[in-house]
Amino acid sequence: MSNPSSSWVAQFNPGDRVEISPRDVGFRGSWYAGTVVRREEKNTNRYVVEYDQLYADESGEKLLQETLDSIQLRPPPPPPEKKKVQFKFEDEVEAFYSDGWWEGAIIAEHSGGKFAVFLRGFEEQIVFEEKDLRLPVQWVKGKWEPRFEQVQREKENSNFSKEVMKFTQGMQVEVLTDEDGLKGAWFAATIIEPSGEDKYLIEYKTLRNDDDTEFLREVIRACNIRPCPPEIIVVDGFKVWDAVDAYYNEGWWVGVIAKVLINSNYEVNFIEYDEKTTFNQADLRPHQDWLNGKWVVP
C-alpha cells in the first residue's frame, strides 16, 4: 500500500469504523476491521483501536486493543460498484482470510466462481470464492484511489486477450484441472492444437481415459495452462515452512513442509486439503508461481 504524504495526516474520532494494518511480523500486507477507541493526548497522530475479530488472548473473551500510528489506519473501503467485478487470471486482489483482508494475486481460475490466489503474507496458494475477494484500493490524502496495478490492467483491458500466453503445438506444459479429487494439482501435458479463443486441446502425460486405452485429452483454458517450471537444485534439503510441490497421484500438489524426518524424508501438509503425507526429497520440488509471464519463488 502506498503511504500518505507526511504533509497530510488522517484524522479519526472515537467510534469511527476503520481498517487496521498491523505492523507485526506475519501480519504485514493485511487489513483488519476495527473501531477507534480514543486518540492519544501526547501524540495526536496515534490512536487506540479495538479489533473486531482479533482477541487479546486465547480465551477469546476480550477483543484486542492496540495503540497505532494514524498511517496504519484508514476508513473502510467503499462498497464495490453495482457493476459486478470480473476477476481474471493475474489480477491483484485482496482476499478475506484468517479474519482479515490479505494482498495476493490470482494464479488460476476454477469452476463455480472460485479462484486460486497466491497470498504473499502466507506464501501459500489458497482457493477462494468470488465473494471473498475484492479489488485493492489505497487511501491517499483523504481519497480512495485504485492501486497502480489495477489502473494498468484497466488501461490494457481492451487488449487482454492479446496478453494471454500463446502456446504452440507440441509444447510441453503443466495444466490445472477442475476434476473432482484433482483440484489444485498441476499435471504434465502436451499442447495438441488451439481450440477456440484462448483454449487448447491438450493431452495429459500421466492421466489416462476411462478404459485405459490412451492418454486423456481435454480442452483447457489458457489461464489454467503454464510452461513447465525450471528445475531448482536443492542442495541442503528443505526446511519447515518451505513451500513445495509434491508429486502425488500423477501430479504436482502445492504443500508446505511440516516436519523434517530422517533419510531425506519430509512430512508435507497439503494446503487445500489440510492433509499430511510423507515424501522423499526425490518427489519434492521448490514451489514456484507463474505470475505476469515470469516464474516467482515465494
- Report the CATH fold assignment for 92-162: SH3 type barrels. (2.30.30)
Predicted pLDDT of residue 163:
53
Architecture of the domain delimited by 243-296: Roll (2.30)
DSSP 161-229: HHHSPP--TT-EEEEE---TTTTTEEEEEEEEEE-STTEEEEEEEEEE-TTSSSEEEEEEEGGGEEEPP
Higher pLDDT, 178 or 162: 178
The pLDDT of 258-280, averaged and rounded, is 86
Predicted pLDDT of residue 101:
95
The pLDDT of 288-295, averaged and rounded, is 86
Please classify residue 78 by burial: count the beta carbons closer than 10 Å to its beta carbon, then call 0-12 exposed, 13-18 middle and 19+ buried.
Answer: exposed
Predicted pLDDT of residue 147:
56
User: Phi and psi for 34 in degrees, rounded to 5?
Assistant: -165, -170
- Report the CATH fold assignment for 172-227: SH3 type barrels. (2.30.30)
The pLDDT of 28-52, averaged and rounded, is 91
Q: Which of 55-59, 163-167, 218-222 has the highest mean pLDDT?
A: 218-222
Is the model's pLDDT at 289 over the cut of 80? Answer: yes
Predicted pLDDT of residue 186:
94
In eight-state DSSP terms, residue 163 is: H
Predicted pLDDT of residue 82:
60
User: Phi and psi for 149 in degrees, rounded to 5?
Assistant: -65, -35
Q: For the chain, where are the alpha helices, taking DSSP H only?
A: 148-156, 160-163
Predicted pLDDT of residue 3:
39
Q: Give the whole-angstrom CA distance, residue 213 versus residue 216.
A: 9
Higher pLDDT, 70 or 178: 70
pLDDT exceeding 70 applies to what percent of the chain? 86
* CB count in 10 Å sphere of residue 214: 9
Where in the chain are the domains?
17-74, 92-162, 172-227, 243-296
Tens digit of pLDDT for each residue in 65-113? Answer: 999 988 789 999 988 766 667 888 778 899 999 999 998 888 888 888 8
Least confident of 24-28, 87-91, 277-281: 24-28
Tens digit of pLDDT for each residue in 138-169? Answer: 776 677 876 544 544 554 444 444 456 789 99
Tens digit of pLDDT for each residue in 224-252? Answer: 999 999 999 998 899 987 889 999 999 99
Predicted pLDDT of residue 121:
78
- Whole-number Cα distances in Å, 148 to 28, 90, 108, 133, 138: 19, 14, 22, 18, 9
HSE-up of residue 224 (Cα within 13 Å, Cβ side): 25
